[in-house]
């Protein structure tokens, strides 16, 4: 039975924190256990002393020690057993198996002027901190912020930061939600990056994983069996317990984490991983509470909460007052899949659900997503809801992201599978659509470095991960006979490091110019910036389509040709002017003259033209 609202209320504060400047207080949830001790360590991991905690209400144990303060290191021993890290730890300086560390939230912030992002005008840049620079740290990325701002990006999205096992990982195997990864620079490094981002006018979103915990370093069950439930199951096993016995504390784990990212780290919002796997049969749903808590923690700043969710479910972004969850955005991958089918020919797995036809591409652009209740061949059941009436800014679109690159066996980027001309055409559509664009790091110069799947697990688990990864792709015809890179091999990680020197190449500079000029157009052209603007899309032949943006009496057309030759005649009564074309030599293309002659647009092969009409 789902719990009542009263039973789902906020649990007491847990973890370790500093009071009065130097006193450290602990509270641990360990229901059903007789005792909990805090085991204190020095910097060399030698035991200093033990502090027995006092039983409190609701299965908690608490206590305090004076004259410790920030930097104190400790583990927790339940019923006299081996000590483990605190699952509510704010820092794990020696990894997920080492002692936890007490940290304070004071950073000497300089961003008091910062008001947060406009959810209707986001341009998101997705970054994996560990491979974004050779150093792989928060502070090493700070010098890149000026590049992003000059590009026209206004929001940085960081792949998961919660402490994970080993030194290299995508971040989705995190086990300590509150502890930013030590090898990235830990709490201090993250605060410096966010403070610097705000100084550059960039918002920062954090990718948060609340649908599962990683297996290595996961000590939750040592404290309570109620962190997980057999009532629901996910692809990662038993679901996190959000609606059964003990769920009040588990929900508090998540909601306190949301609050920490926004309040203590000044993050501007969250991207929720696989929200469809956050299972909660109670009311209010955890997703709605996450949104509410994030906004409350911001103290008047604007924050955004975006979900990755495969269901095409309008309820996610419907306001809470209308029975929805009130999220600001949702990843809508249908356009990516249609474009991959059209330009790259992908057809296996979930791509079998897409034709890539001009008609279906136009339908996806009209709606925001393609599946609105039709049966999915891949899933075997109906998928999606009608998005009519939802603002297009709610839909996050991409032509690349960490999943769509990294979940390919060789981590190949889009450039491996489509021509440079197709890449420019797809980019033009993405950057000038009414939807929220997301770029994957390096996309703005058509980076050639792969983004492979990599891990740093212990030998036993690592072997299983390697075997599972290779088995996963054994049924795909295009990969047969090729050995999938070993996720555990350090070379798999280092090969994924972004090469910023590529920007010096002529081809990269052309694509980079395309991205800068189109993002500038997106931010300044009244047809694109108007809040009263409308859009439509239609096929103009079997292999071409038009996205139409209208506002204040003007119209902007993005005409995209997938293949072959296109001759498209514009309305005779309109005054037409060319704004940009993807095959302009400035961008690396081969078409010197404008594709617009009079009121006729001519495109050859994969290409896009941007035309402004005035009545």
| Residues tagged active-site | 273, 308
SS3 of residue 282 by DSSP:
coil
Q: Is 459 annotated as a binding residue?
A: no
Contact 433, 466 (CB under 8 A): no
Residue 118 tokens, joined: 């406009």
Residue 561 tokens, joined: 């040709």
CA distance 548 to 326: 28
Q: Is 336 annotated as a binding residue?
A: yes
CA distance 150 to 587: 17
Q: Is 443 annotated as a binding residue?
A: no
- Cis peptide bond upstream of 539, omega within 30: no
Q: Is 512 annotated as a binding residue?
A: no
CA distance 524 to 272: 30
Length of the chain: 615
Q: Is 276 annotated as a binding residue?
A: yes
CA distance 188 to 203: 18
Q: Is 401 annotated as a binding residue?
A: no
Q: Is 269 annotated as a binding residue?
A: no
How buried is residue 334: exposed, middle or buried, by Cβ count under 10 Å (0-12/13-18/19+)?
buried
Q: Is 188 annotated as a binding residue?
A: no
Cite the DSSP H helix spans in 495-582.
506-524, 526-529
Q: Edge-to-edge, what's the strand order for the sheet holding 54-55?
A: 15-19, 23-29, 60-65, 54-55
Q: Is 337 annotated as a binding residue?
A: yes
Contact 334, 364 (CB under 8 A): yes
Q: What sign does the CA torsion over 193, 196, 198, 200 have? A: negative
Q: Which residues pair with 25 in a beta bridge?
A: 17, 64
CA proximity to 334, closest of 366, 305, 306, 304? 366
Q: Token pair 């005792």 is at which residue?
A: 35
Query: In degrees rounded to 5, what are phi and psi of residue 382?
Result: -65, 150
CA proximity to 265, closest of 93, 105, 87? 105
| Contacts made by residues 527-535, CB under 8 angstroms, sequence distance 24+ | 527/551, 527/552, 527/554, 527/555, 527/556, 527/612, 528/432, 528/434, 528/556, 529/121, 531/120, 533/434, 535/365, 535/366, 535/392, 535/433, 535/434
Cite the DSSP H helix spans in 168-246.
186-199, 220-223
Q: Is 233 annotated as a binding residue?
A: no
Distances (CA, A) of 362 to 65, 338, 411: 64, 10, 29
* DSSP E strands, 260-393: 269-272, 304-308, 329-331, 375-376, 381-382
CA distance 514 to 428: 8
408 CB contacts (<8 Å, ≥6 apart)? Answer: none
CA distance 359 to 343: 15
Q: Is 407 annotated as a binding residue?
A: yes
DSSP 479: G
Angle at the Cα of 442 (from 441 to 447), degrees rounded to 5? 140
Q: Which residues pair with 23 in a beta bridge?
A: 19
Rounded to the nearest 10°, the torsion over CA 352, 330, 493, 184 is -170
DSSP 405: H
Q: Indicate the helix (H) or strand (E) that contains 465.
A: helix 459-472
Q: Is 333 annotated as a binding residue?
A: yes
The annotation places the binding site at: 271-276, 333-337, 402-407
Q: Which residue ranges are tagged as binding site for substrate?
A: 271-276, 333-337, 402-407
């Amino acid at each position: 039975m789902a719990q009542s609202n009263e039973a789902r209320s906020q649990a007491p504060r847990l973890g370790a924190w500093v009071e009065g400047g130097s006193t450290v207080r602990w509270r641990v949830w360990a229901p059903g256990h007789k005792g909990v001790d805090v085991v204190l360590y020095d910097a060399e991991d030698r035991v200093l002393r033990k502090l027995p905690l006092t039983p409190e209400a609701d299965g908690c144990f608490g206590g305090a020690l004076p004259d410790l303060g920030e930097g104190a290191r400790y583990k927790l021993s339940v019923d006299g057993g081996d000590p483990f890290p605190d699952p509510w730890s704010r820092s794990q300086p020696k990894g997920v198996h080492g002692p936890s560390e007490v940290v304070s939230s004071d950073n000497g912030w300089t961003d008091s002027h910062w008001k947060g992002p406009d959810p209707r005008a986001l341009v998101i840049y997705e970054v994996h901190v560990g491979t974004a620079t050779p150093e792989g740290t928060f502070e090493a990325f700070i010098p890149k912020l000026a590049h992003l701002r000059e590009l026209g990006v206004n929001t940085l999205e960081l792949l998961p930061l919660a402490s994970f096992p080993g030194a290299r990982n995508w971040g989705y195997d995190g086990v300590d939600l509150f502890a930013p990864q030590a090898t990235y620079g830990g709490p201090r490094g993250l605060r410096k990056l966010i403070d610097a981002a705000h100084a550059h006018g960039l918002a920062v979103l954090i990718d948060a994983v609340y649908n599962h915990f990683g297996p290595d370093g996961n000590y939750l069950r040592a404290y309570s069996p109620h962190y997980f439930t057999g009532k629901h199951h996910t692809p990662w096993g038993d679901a996190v317990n959000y609606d059964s016995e003990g769920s009040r504390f588990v929900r508090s784990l998540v909601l306190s984490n949301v609050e920490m990212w926004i309040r203590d780290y000044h993050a501007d919002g969250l991207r929720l991983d696989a929200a469809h796997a956050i299972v909660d049969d109670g009311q209010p749903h955890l997703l709605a509470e996450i949104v509410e808590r994030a906004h409350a923690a911001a103290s008047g700043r604007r924050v955004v909460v975006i979900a990755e969710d495969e269901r095409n479910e309008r309820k996610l972004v419907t306001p809470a007052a209308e029975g929805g969850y009130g999220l600001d955005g949702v990843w809508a991958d249908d356009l990516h899949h249609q474009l991959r089918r059209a330009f790259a020919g992908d057809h296996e797995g979930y791509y079998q659900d897409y034709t890539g036809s001009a008609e279906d591409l136009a339908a996806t652009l009209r709606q925001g997503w393609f599946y609105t209740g039709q049966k999915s061949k891949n899933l075997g059941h109906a998928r999606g809801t009608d998005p009519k009436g939802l603002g297009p800014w709610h839909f996050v679109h991409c032509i690349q992201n960490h999943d769509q690159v990294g979940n390919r066996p060789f981590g190949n980027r889009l450039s491996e599978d489509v021509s440079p001309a197709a890449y420019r055409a797809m980019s033009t559509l993405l950057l000038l659509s009414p939807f929220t664009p997301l770029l994957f790091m390096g996309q703005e110069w058509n980076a050639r470095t792969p983004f492979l799947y990599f891990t740093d697990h212990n030998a036993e688990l690592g072997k299983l991960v390697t075997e599972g990864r290779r088995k996963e792709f054994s049924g795909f015809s295009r990969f047969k006979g090729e050995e999938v890179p070993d996720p555990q091999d350090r070379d798999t990680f280092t090969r994924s490091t972004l090469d910023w020197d590529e920007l010096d190449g002529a081809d990269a500079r052309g694509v980079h110019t395309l991205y800068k000029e189109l993002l500038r157009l997106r931010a300044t052209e009244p047809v694109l910036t108007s809040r009263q603007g409308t859009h439509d899309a239609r096929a103009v032949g079997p292999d071409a389509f038009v996205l139409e943006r209208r506002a204040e009496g003007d119209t902007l057309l993005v005409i995209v040709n997938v293949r072959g030759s296109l001759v498209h005649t514009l309305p005779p009564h309109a005054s037409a002017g060319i704004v940009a074309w993807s095959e302009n030599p400035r961008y690396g293309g081969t078409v010197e003259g404008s594709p617009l002659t009079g009121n006729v647009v001519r495109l050859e092969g994969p290409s896009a033209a941007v035309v402004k009409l005035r009545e």
